[in-house]
């Protein structure tokens, strides 16, 4: 069991059920006397300042508690400086169970969980980078998120509407054409030898394998 201080927006309320599945036990700060009683902090980006203030009487400035910060896609650009801190992981509020597990394991010391691999493609969850044959791909954030989604859901066939919901989120107003454009760009950036990894399933959507 991992003990965590959790301070999330209502927008990220669905995260709680996922954290319970992972085995994160929510601890109230009034029950915490020493920093070593907390393994991890999980907070929304909008509550990050409040969270740090709440921990100010407990947390050591020289050895901060590992933090998982939940963001939506629009907030990602605000987190560039935070990503450089090895005690902090940034995660999308749309992330699936596997990635949440991986980022928590990364914070708590499992270095193998920082990467997703498929053949000669490696995605680094810590740095938001993707490499093929050790060559860095120049991906936008949404291209990165789409590629990560495909790797985490290999062999499944996904409709364009399902991909929009899982990757872009419920509040995205663009059409299914957005998925086609990003798939085309991903195929181009993966190169001719690897473009076939993303297969078009006619009248349905896409499959990655």
The 10s digit of each residue's pLDDT in 57-102 is: 988 887 889 999 998 877 776 776 676 777 888 888 878 888 888 8
- How is residue 72 annotated by DSSP? -
CA dihedral 123, 125, 128, 132 (to 10 degrees): -10
pLDDT of residue 91: 85
pLDDT of residue 83: 67
- pTM (two decimals): 0.56
Are 127 and 136 spatial neighbours (Cβ–Cβ below 8 Å)? Answer: no
Are 150 and 92 spatial neighbours (Cβ–Cβ below 8 Å)? Answer: no
pLDDT of residue 206: 96
**Which stretches of 68-205 are DSSP H helices?**
80-83, 97-108, 141-152, 160-163, 177-190
Fold of 2-109: Rossmann fold (3.40.50)
Domain ranges of the chain: 2-109, 116-208
116-208 CATH, one of 3.10.400.10, 1.10.10.10, 3.40.50.150, 3.55.50.30: 1.10.10.10
Comparison of pLDDT for 103 and 112, the residue scoring more: 103
Crossing angle of the two packed helices 97-108 and 141-152, in degrees rounded to 10: 100
pLDDT of residue 167: 86
Residue 151 has pLDDT above 70, yes or no: yes
Buried b (16+ CB within 10 A) or exposed e, 90-103: bbbbbbeeebbbbb
pLDDT of residue 142: 87
């Amino acid at each position: 069991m991992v003990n965590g201080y959790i301070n999330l927006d209502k927008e990220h309320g669905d995260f709680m059920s996922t954290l319970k599945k992972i085995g994160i036990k929510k601890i109230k700060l009034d029950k915490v006397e020493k920093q070593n009683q907390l393994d991890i902090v999980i907070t929304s980006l909008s509550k990050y300042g409040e969270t740090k203030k709440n921990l100010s009487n407990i947390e050591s400035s020289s050895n901060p508690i590992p933090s998982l910060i939940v963001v939506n896609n629009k907030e990602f650009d605000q987190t560039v400086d935070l990503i450089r801190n090895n005690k902090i992981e940034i995660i999308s509020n749309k992330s699936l169970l596997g990635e949440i597990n991986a980022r928590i394991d990364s914070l708590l010391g499992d270095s193998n969980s920082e990467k997703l691999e498929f053949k000669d493609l490696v995605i680094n969850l810590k740095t938001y980078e993707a490499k093929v044959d050790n060559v860095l791909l120049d991906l936008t954030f949404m291209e990165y998120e789409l590629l990560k989604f495909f790797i985490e859901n290999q062999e499944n066939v996904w409709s364009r509407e399902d991909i929009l919901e899982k990757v872009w989120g419920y509040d995205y107003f663009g059409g299914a054409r957005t998925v086609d454009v990003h798939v085309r760009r991903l195929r181009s950036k993966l190169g001719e030898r690897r473009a076939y990894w993303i297969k078009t399933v006619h009248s349905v959507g896409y499959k990655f394998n």
